[in-house]
Amino acid sequence: MNAPTGAVVEAVHRSADHTFCKWAEDEIELLAGIGVAGDAHAGARVKHRSRVAKDPTQPNLRQVHLIHAEVHDRARELGFEVGPGDMGENITTRGIDLIDLSAGALLEIGDDAIVSVTGLRNPCPQLKGIHPDFQSVMLDRWEDDGSIKRLAGVMSVVVRGGIVRSGDEIRVTAPSRHHRLRQI
Q: 85: burial class by Cβ within 10 Å (0-12, 13-18, 19+)?
A: buried
Report the candidate in 177, 125, 133, 180 with the shortest Cα–Cα distance to residue 154: 180
pLDDT band at 157 (very low <50, low <70, confident <90, very high): very high
* Low-confidence winner among 8-22, 34-48, 75-89, 126-140 (lowest mean pLDDT): 126-140
pLDDT band at 36 (very low <50, low <70, confident <90, very high): very high
Torsion, Cα 184 180 74 128, to 10 degrees, reads -20
In the CATH hierarchy, which fold is given to the domain comprising 4-173? M1 Pyruvate Kinase; Domain 3 (2.40.33)
Report the candidate in 168, 165, 175 with the shortest Cα–Cα distance to residue 29: 165
Domain assignments of the chain as residue spans, ordered by start: 4-173
Report the candidate in 147, 52, 132, 131 with the shortest Cα–Cα distance to residue 99: 147
Q: Is the pTM of this model over 0.75?
A: yes
Amino acid 165 reads: R
pLDDT in tens, 41-98: 999 998 877 777 788 889 999 999 999 999 899 888 988 889 999 989 999 999 999 9
SS3 state at 126:
helix
